[in-house]
Amino acid sequence: MTNSKKSKQEKSAMGKGALQHAAGGEIHQSVEGEHPPLTTNQGVAIADNQNSLRANAKGPTLLEDFMLREKITHFDHERIPERVVHARGTGVHGFFELTDSLAQYTTARILTEVGEKTPVFTRLSTVAGGAGSIDTPRDVRGFAVKFYTKEGNWDLVGNNIPVFFIQDAIKFPDIIHAVKMEPDRGFPQSSTAHDTFWDFINHSPESMHMIMWIMSDRTIPRSLRMIEGFGVHSFRLLNDNGESTFVKFHWRPKLGLQSTIWDETVKIAGADQDYHRRDMFEAVTSGNFPEWEFAVQLFTEEEAAEFPFDHLDPTKLIPEELVPLKVIGRMVLDRWPSNFFAETEQVAYCPANIVPGLDFSNDPLLQGRLFSYLDTQLSRLGSPNFQQIPINSPKCPFGNQQRDGHMQMAPQAGQVAYEPNSLSKISPRETPHGFHSAAITETGGKGRIRAESFADHYSQARQFYISQTAYEQAHLASALVFELSRVTNHVREAMVGHLRHIAEDLAQRVATGLGLEKMPAAPVAAAPVQDLPPSPALQIIGKMKDTLMGRDIGILIADGSDGKVINKIKKAITDTGAGVKIIAPKVGGAMLADGSMLPADKQLAGAPSVLFDAVAIILSDEGAEMLSMDSAAIQFVQDAFSHLKAIAVDNGGQALLDIANVGLDAGIVDINDHDAFITAAKTRQWDREQYVRVLA
């Protein structure tokens, strides 16, 4: 065969995905229509790429699992120096204060010493996008807290969603590869609306619960100050007697939950790509410190055995109605980093960083994370001495016999570098008061196995959906239609089949939105779908707080606006704890009716209404006429109405609404009725939505 002919044939085969290349080795040709074997980098065929090697069906993951270690090690080292996931983050210093002791359950001093304030550094992030991506995609938000405790650093590394896509860490590289930019084209950035993501989900029914959360409004938050945080996994607390209690950790925002409308989210991305980071920066630097309650769910092994699910399955949550949350403390973020790179970028979180009195569960995703995060930090920060970077260093005394290494900045003095020894009376030694693991007996045959109790993939997904308000269900269905409309037909149809196990009405709404001619068959479920009771705690709308604290109101003015009216509405708003921004056609401000000049905080073209939680429009007749010729002003009021926001108007403001063909409802109030405006601004005008957009 000539080189030219061979090249053409090889290229043709590559186009069909028929070739596998081994670096430095031969090209392995598969028979057309058959898949070549999946192998390790050493060429060893892999029989099970779905499960890590475990001591038994519900036991810990074994270190000897060379396939898991090779796969995750390669994944952890894919990018340098940017994080592979959670690349775009916002970090803030603060403190944690314990308000209720857990001394009955744990010896961890951070959870027993009431009133003690422990320094923390919290990093909130998106997952899928790179460091230069936008703040507001539909995406999970990372929620990682480093506690600088008296007994060492404790890293609680979680998300704003209490469950995850996968049950076993060996699948983590696969889900991230699927959600990231498609490797042959380098897009889309920070988006799940593409083939590879949904193809993976279609083949991973265990992801269905997570999909309900991602397609809900939880993943388009109004602010990082208004998201919940979850430790995701079950952990253990150990008391003085060595007795173990399971625990799940929760963060609940003082400002309550709030999300955006999808159309609003898209427009925010265009108006301010740093919307969440800027919002957090302005809140912290102005003294409006974000705060979260810290709560736990406590339960025993015996209680867990009675749950209608396996709490060690990271695709499951424990409903608050089943195990109520116990609030034990609060976190306040009160200091912005002095240098973004030195702190927010270089901070290294590792779930394996725990303190005496805490321990791990056998959650197989957690077990893999205990290895993966440290390996990732070694790659990203380039040295085993990354803990010497100030943001990562404990604030308690620490010392050991580890020596040298790249970037060693704290050379230890003395003759010995080992333990025990008889040559030094001051070198660190092990102590009976140090860390102890829970004494858990493990039995059974090792193997690449998954517990039968992990087989139910649809029941909690159904529970989540039926727990939402009608508005939230419509948003979720519409999000699915949008995402699936952008993928290949067979993947689209297969996903609707999965939805039939969750809720037939949801599947029908999505199928109708996609224009499917007939309903696809549902795949065979690995376990019967249970009818779990609704959990109102899973809503957003039902958990919104009756407050304007932390919100921003925009007041649109122009030449001739009434200064007295502006001052009165501004005072009424600021008295609630909300912020006010004055918006005018020119950044210099506007000449008011009394001849005074009122400076503007924002210029109209650069401050669309999507950046505010409610708006007031105060205009003279001439000002309204002038703004009627400005497309930015027309869009300002149309978007405020379309995004279900409260709008306060005077006569000129109403004239602008009329010109923009904006209708009337209970959310549009007279500028002088401050109480009505404040009440309407605390929420969205949900009943308006049926008149402004078509939802699935």
Cis peptide before 188 (omega within 30 of 0): yes
The predicted structure's pLDDT at residue 31: 57
Rounded average pLDDT over 559-586 = 97
DSSP 609: G
Torsion of CA 532, 537, 538, 543, to 10 degrees: 150
| Alpha carbon distance 329, 327 (integer Å) | 6
Instruction: Give pLDDT tens digits for 441-464.
Output: 999 999 999 999 999 999 999 999
Please state, in angstroms and rounded to a whole number, the distance separating the CA atoms of residues 453 and 316.
11
Rounded CA separation 681/677 (Å): 6
Whether the Cβ atoms of residue 224 and residue 90 lie closer than 8 Å to each other: yes
pLDDT at residue 7 is higher than 70: no
- When mean pLDDT is compared across 60-74, 157-171, 542-556, the lowest value belongs to 60-74
The β-bridge relationship of strands 141-149 and 244-253 is unpaired
Torsion angles phi and psi, residue 57, rounded to 5: -55, -35
Q: What is the 3-state secondary structure (H, E, C) of 143-154?
A: EEEEEEECCEEE
pLDDT at 67 over 60: yes
pLDDT at 80: 60
| Residue 61: count of CB within 10 angstroms of its CB | 24
Mean per-residue pLDDT, 664-690:
97
User: Is 436 one of the annotated active-site residues of the chain?
Assistant: no
22-25 long-range Cβ contacts below 8 angstroms, 24+ apart: none
DSSP labels for 334-367? Answer: EE--S-HIIIIIT----TT---TTEEE---HHHH
Which domains does the chain show, CATH number per domain? 3-54 (no CATH), 66-392 (2.40.180.10), 459-541 (1.20.1370.20), 548-692 (3.40.50.880)
Burial 153-190 (b: 16+ CB within 10 A, else e): bbbbbbbbbbbbbbbbbbbbbbbbbbbbbeeeeeebeb
Q: Using 50, 70 and 90 to split pLDDT, how confident is the model at 531?
A: very high
Q: Is 86 a catalytic residue?
A: yes
User: Among 7-11, 113-117, 421-425, 673-677, where is mean pLDDT lowest?
Assistant: 7-11
Helix (H) or strand (E) run with residue 97 in it: strand 89-98
pLDDT > 70 in the chain, percent = 95
Q: Classify residue 24 as left (phi > 0), alpha (psi -120 to 50) or beta.
A: left
* Residue 266 confidence (pLDDT) above 50: yes
What pLDDT, on a 0 to 100 scale, did the predictor assign at position 12? 40
Q: Which of these is catalytic: 86, 475, 498, 643?
A: 86
Q: Cα separation of 304 and 300, whole Å?
A: 6
DSSP letter at 61?
B
Long-range contacts of the stretch 17-21 (C-beta < 8 A, 24+): none
Give how far Cα 120 sits from Cα of 147, 193, 262, 392, 399, Å. Answer: 5, 35, 33, 11, 21
Mean pLDDT along residues 38-59: 88
pLDDT digit string (tens) for 136-158? 999 999 999 999 999 999 999 99
Span 321-335, pLDDT tens digits: 999 999 999 999 999
Tell me what the pLDDT averaged over the chain comes to. Answer: 93
Residue 574: CB atoms within 10 A of its CB come to: 13
Residue 122 corresponds to which tokens in the numbers above?
């919290």
Residues 159-215 have pLDDT tens digits of 999 999 999 999 999 999 999 999 999 999 999 999 999 999 999 999 999 999 999
Strands 141-149 and 152-159: antiparallel
User: Which one is catalytic: 21, 28, 153, 159?
Assistant: 159
- Check pLDDT > 60 for residue 11: no
Nearest by Cα to 366 from 125, 211, 164, 209: 164
pLDDT band at 18 (very low <50, low <70, confident <90, very high): very low
Q: How confident is the model at residue 42 (pLDDT cuts 50, 70, 90)?
A: confident
Residue pair 574/616 in contact by the 8 Å Cβ criterion = no
Closest CA to 188 of 246, 103, 269, 257: 269
Distance, CA of 346 to CA of 390 (rounded, Å): 9
Q: Is the pLDDT of residue 411 over 90?
A: no
pLDDT digits (tens, 9 = 90+) for 476-524: 999 999 999 999 999 999 999 999 999 999 999 999 999 999 999 999 9
pLDDT value at position 617? 98
| Distance between start and end Cα atoms, the chain | 57
At 258, phi and psi to the nearest 5? -155, 140
Q: Is the pLDDT of residue 102 over 80?
A: yes
Label residue 402 by pLDDT band (50, 70, 90). Answer: confident
Specify the pLDDT at position 131.
93
